[in-house]
Amino acid sequence: MTLRLFNTLTGQLDPLTPADGMALRMYACGPTVYDYGHIGNFRTFLQIDILRRALQLLGTPVRHVMNITDVDDKIIRNAAQAGMPIGDYTQPYIDAFFEDFESLRMERPEQIARATEHIPQMVALVEKLAAEGAAYKAEDGSWYFRLKSFPEYGKLSKKDLSGMEDGARVDVDEYEKDSARDFALWKAAKPGETSWETAIGRGRPGWHIECSAMAMEYLGESFDLHAGGEDLMFPHHENEIAQSEMATHKQFARHWMHVRFLLVDGRKMSKSEGNFYTLRDLLLKGYKASAIRLALVSVPYRHQFNFTFDGLAEATSAVDRLRTFHERLKAGGFAPGESSQMQEAARKAKAEYREALADDLNTAEARAPIFELIRAANTAIDQGECFAADSEAILEVLKDFDAVFDVLEDRDAEPTRRALAWAEKSGRMNEVTPELIAAQSLTDEGIEMLVAERSAAKKTRNFARADQIRNELAEKGVILEDSKDGVRWKRK
RNA sequence: GGCGCGGUACCCAAGUGGUAAGGGAGAGGUCUGCAAAACCUUUAUGCGCCGGUUCGAUCCCGGCCCGCGCCUCCA
């Protein structure tokens, strides 16, 4: 099945297919590692994860390159303030990023590319542009892209810059540019700043050049898809197109995907607004990684997603419902045979689910048939009308669901544990919610012992003691479920 | 100012020119020692407002109101 994805460049839904008929070559702008990742960053990366997983589910393998911007103005400034080389400054944030990446169960891109490890490729690109007459060196040794050389500039963001007057907004330190909107390809070294000695002079890369150079390095001069947050559309991606297409005379990326921003309580998230959350903040508040993943992913990527704690609580309930049902199926015990109704329900759910994903990654719509199937199946199971072959068919549908959403298996303990260890190490234990600390005080073995004691109490009809134990466990976030097959427990 | 997006039940949210998916929450019920889980019933004659096109519009067109984003570092 072919995925139809909105293409910023054409302004319409275009089929997303590999030009070479092999793997789909995609480049996604990754993080700038000057701080811990916030939920806005992760909403974007998660939606790109949904894309790559959906592609694979629908039969298209991917070759996904993600960059790490480990040199830029902010990094240089912060590292200088901390009095350390930029590599030492960025490394902890890079490690933290991948830890968070894993906590949210994002699949590793096939290639991770760090800007500082691709300086030669960038230099070569600048030289190529210079040869084309599209780049020039300013008096201070910086290199700029000559915007006038690329008439198509603005085709991605639909901006008409022809009316822009030169000199309208010239930064004081950029007076050497020929034209105000020319952007830096290479910045001349300033005293004390990180720089590289290269054929085009001593300096460091401009912001946009890294993505062009690395995308071409790993995907070729022309590739299938380029993705990123909506803010990157202009000027970042526009500049990438200009410098890449001037250098190669080929179309850079055929398809452009932009993920809309996340809001918090209806406002743009920002540190000054006091509504800024990192993934770690949420984990320390006791929310599970799977619920955060589901919440950030359930509103389709082209819509603003308004993050609220109510919404996160809702996602938590949704994850519980999915898992409870999944467990119920896995527990087995179904009579041999099949029912035509359940077979048909499973077939229909699977088809609708896939179709929704193929339709511009409509995750909200994709969820619906899954939950519908769950209700139908629960009813059938209650009435003894769900058989072994039905259970298998439904599990297959859930497998499809989880191939993209990836929340069914409870792997939430590890991210929380890691977040707590980090809080401990970095002196942030005061940010940890007391309930979480209480929950951590119980080991699985401890829970099992209390559960056993309660079962014994119940046998002797000592319900007072049994309820006491249940309440005690509840206070520490452990929920019990009695059933005729025994007691099940789970952490909230 | 330029560009763009949205306004659907208590909350989140999908959707179609023919009369409103799904999730969460609430209420009642079945089941249970009590719970939990599960299931059933229940919560929009209406989809921001006003016109228009149409046999018929939430969905198409026009206007208006409100909210948000981008245009500058930003995912």
Beta carbons of A296 and A259 less than 8 angstroms apart = no
Q: Specify the CATH number for the domain of residue A322.
A: 1.10.730.10
Beta carbons of A202 and A233 less than 8 angstroms apart = no
The pLDDT tens digits of the residues spanning A95-106 come to: 999 999 999 999
For residues A189 and A327, state if they share a domain: no
- Tell me if A396 is assigned to a ligand binding site: no
Q: How many CA atoms lie within 13 A of A357 on its CB side?
A: 30
Give distance CA A476 / C1' B27 (Å).
Answer: 29
For residues A48 and A108, state if they share a domain: yes
Bridge partners for A201 per DSSP: A198
Q: What is the pLDDT of residue A262?
A: 93
For residues A325 and A349, state if they share a domain: yes
Q: Which of A's residues 263-302 have CB atoms within 7 A of nucleic strand B? A: 263, 266-269, 299-300
Beta carbons of A485 and A476 less than 8 angstroms apart = no
Of chain A, the percentage scoring pLDDT greater than 90 comes to 84
Closest nucleotide C1' to the C-alpha of A480: B36
Strand B nucleotides in reach of protein CB atoms, 7 A cut-off = 3-6, 11-15, 21-25, 32-40, 67-75
Q: How confident is the model at residue A171 (pLDDT cuts 50, 70, 90)?
A: very low
Given 3-state DSSP classes, what are the helix, strand and coil percentages for chain A, each rounded to the nearest 5? Answer: 50, 15, 30
Q: What is the pLDDT of residue A355?
A: 96
**Worst-scoring range by mean pLDDT, A70-74, A170-174, A352-356?**
A170-174
Closest nucleotide C1' to the C-alpha of A463: B33
Q: What is the pLDDT of residue A118?
A: 97
Q: What is the pLDDT of residue A478?
A: 92
Beta carbons of A150 and A242 less than 8 angstroms apart = yes
Domain range for A344 is: 267-404
Strand B lies under 7 A from the Cβ of residue A327: no
For residues A16 and A152, state if they share a domain: yes
For residues A209 and A293, state if they share a domain: no
Name the residue among A99, A41, A114 with its Cα closest to residue A425.
Answer: A99
Q: How confident is the model at residue A168 (pLDDT cuts 50, 70, 90)?
A: very low
Of chain A, the percentage scoring pLDDT greater than 70 comes to 97
- Tell me if A211 is assigned to a ligand binding site: yes
- Tell me if A240 is assigned to a ligand binding site: yes
Q: How confident is the model at residue A166 (pLDDT cuts 50, 70, 90)?
A: very low
Q: ∠ CA A429-A431-A437 to the nearest 5 degrees? A: 60
CB atoms within 10 A of CB A365: 16
Q: How confident is the model at residue A485 (pLDDT cuts 50, 70, 90)?
A: confident
How far apart CA A59 and CA A268 sit, in angstroms, is: 36
Give distance CA A5 / C1' B45 (Å).
Answer: 37
For residues A314 and A439, state if they share a domain: no
Inform me whether the pLDDT recorded for A411 exceeds 60: yes
Last residue of a domain, one of A238, A259, A280: A259
Q: What is the pLDDT of residue A273?
A: 78
For residues A313 and A331, state if they share a domain: yes
Query: Could you give the number of structural domains in chain A?
Result: 3
Last residue of a domain, one of A218, A241, A259: A259
Strand B lies under 7 A from the Cβ of residue A480: yes
State the sign of the Cα–Cα–Cα–Cα dihedral A487, A488, A490, A492: negative
Inform me whether the pLDDT recorded for A172 exceeds 50: no
**Worst-scoring range by mean pLDDT, A18-32, A153-167, A422-436?**
A153-167
Q: Which of A's residues 6-65 have CB atoms within 7 A of nucleic strand B? A: 29, 31-32, 38, 40-41, 43-44
For residues A149 and A92, state if they share a domain: yes
Give the total residue count for chain A: 492
The pLDDT tens digits of the residues spanning A27-39 come to: 999 999 999 999 9
* Average pLDDT estimate for A63-86: 95
Q: What is the pLDDT of residue A167?
A: 41
Closest nucleotide C1' to the C-alpha of A381: B38
Q: Which of A's residues 157-196 have CB atoms within 7 A of nucleic strand B? A: 158-159
For residues A94 and A195, state if they share a domain: yes
How far apart CA A238 and CA A252 sit, in angstroms, is: 11
Inform me whether the pLDDT recorded for A170 exceeds 50: no
Closest nucleotide C1' to the C-alpha of A306: B12
Q: What is the pLDDT of residue A169?
A: 42
Task: Give ipTM to 2 decimals.
Answer: 0.94
Q: What is the mean pLDDT of chain A?
A: 93
For residues A182 and A33, state if they share a domain: yes
Q: How far apart are the first and last CA of chain A?
A: 38
The pLDDT tens digits of the residues spanning A237-266 come to: 999 999 999 999 999 999 999 999 999 988
Beta carbons of A358 and A4 less than 8 angstroms apart = yes
For residues A392 and A427, state if they share a domain: no
* Average pLDDT estimate for A147-152: 90
The pLDDT tens digits of the residues spanning A420-451 come to: 999 999 999 999 999 899 888 889 999 999 99
Q: Specify the CATH number for the domain of residue A163.
A: 3.40.50.620
Within 8 A by CB and 6+ apart from A126, the residues are: A135, A143, A185, A186, A200, A209
How far apart CA A215 and CA A211 sit, in angstroms, is: 6
Give distance CA A306 / C1' B10 (Å).
Answer: 18
More confident residue, A296 or A159: A296
Inform me whether the pLDDT recorded for A72 exceeds 80: yes
**Residue A11: burial class (beta carbons within 10 Å; 0-12, 13-18, 19+):** exposed
Bridge partners for A229 per DSSP: A259
Region of A333 on the Ramachandran plot (φ > 0 left; ψ -120 to 50 alpha; else beta): left
Give distance CA A356 / C1' B17 (Å).
Answer: 22
The pLDDT tens digits of the residues spanning A393-407 come to: 999 999 999 999 999
For residues A72 and A95, state if they share a domain: yes
Last residue of a domain, one of A259, A288, A307: A259
**Residue A372: burial class (beta carbons within 10 Å; 0-12, 13-18, 19+):** middle
Within 8 A by CB and 6+ apart from A232, the residues are: A29, A258
The pLDDT tens digits of the residues spanning A353-375 come to: 999 999 999 999 999 999 999 99
Inform me whether the pLDDT recorded for A175 exceeds 70: no
Residue nearest to nucleotide B13 (CA to C1'): A364
